[in-house]
Amino acid sequence: MFRTVAELIERTENENISIAEAMITQEMDVHEKSREEIIGQMERNLTVMEKAIEDGLRGVRSRSGLTGGDAVLLQKYMHTHQPLSGILLLDAVSKAVATNEVNAAMGVICATPTAGSAGCVPGALFAVKERLNPTREEMINFLFTSGAFGFVVANNAFISGAAGGCQAEVGSAAAMASAAVVEMAGGTPKQSAEAFAITLKNMLGLVCDPVAGLVEVPCVKRNAAGASNAIVSADMALAGITSKIPCDEVIGAMYRIGRQMPSALRETAEGGLAATPTGRELAAKIYGNKGEKE
């Protein structure tokens, strides 16, 4: 069993297998299930992701009224303008937003690794799908690759905003997506690790400060930024750029930063954007004069 990224990469190189294959076989051993059962479960996850994006792109709105409709606006903009950031990148952003808007509207999503960061992986996957034309099997492998890196983070640091800030949620999710994009694009396992490290480094210190305590503002737009970060970092790794700080050390740094982060910036809605005048006004409108969750 691999417990670090270094061990994961060493295994892929020694056995001449992909990261996805390493994760599949580990899941088979840990859960004592057949390959068909493990892959079948991941395919069901993929189907949930696909439907969430479809629902979000048709337009949804949260019950609080804080979020909704932005994924539709992005798609309309893409089809009527020449996006400065490019079609593929903005497509990833729109699909990440779509996923998280569905989550905010109480729809069904697949937590990757959490509900609040559920847009990064499918956003990146379904955007690069338009460019790389992967098979269904390759799309499932994309999820196993992202899951392999998420497994390492969960067992060596944390993946929840309450524990380590949004760097642990959207940061981890974006890095997972970036590593998987590299593998799908034909990169090496080592390049996937470099992409993960580059992405997570860019999001170190990101706080979790949800307005009104809801997973909406700024969570939805942070998934958008996470998906774009993932795509750019993947290109950097595929170009041969490496992280001067090894992947496992970046994860360790994220853990230490999270431990040092005050509780006001870890999902309590007591600091950051949640504590701004507008943030407090929005909370008051939702919950009444108390301005806080009951």
DSSP states of 71-82? HHHHHHHHHHS-
Euclidean distance between CA atoms 72 and 60, whole angstroms = 9
Tens digits of pLDDT across the chain (294 residues)? 999 999 999 999 999 999 999 999 999 999 999 999 999 999 999 999 999 999 999 999 999 999 999 999 999 999 999 999 999 999 999 999 999 999 999 999 999 999 999 999 999 999 999 999 999 999 999 999 999 999 999 999 999 999 999 999 999 999 999 999 999 999 999 999 999 999 999 999 999 999 999 999 999 999 999 999 999 999 999 999 999 999 999 999 999 999 999 999 999 999 999 999 999 999 999 998 654 444
SS3 category, 113: coil
- Single-letter amino acid code for the residue at 82: Q
Name the burial class of residue 232, with classes exposed (0-12), middle (13-18) and buried (19+) by CB atoms within 10 angstroms of its CB: middle
Domains of the chain: 5-287 (1.10.4100)
3-state secondary structure of 48: helix
pLDDT of residue 263: 97
The residue written with tokens 């006004």 in the block is 281
Amino acid identity at 11: R
pLDDT at res. 294: 43
What is residue 67's three-state secondary structure? coil
- Type of residue at 158: F
What's the confidence (pLDDT) of residue 207? 98
Cα 137 to Cα 35, 167, 220, distances in angstroms: 13, 30, 29
Amino acid 240: pLDDT? 98
pLDDT at 265: 98
The token duo for 179 is: 């590593």
DSSP-derived letter for residue 264 is: G
Q: How many residues does the chain have?
A: 294
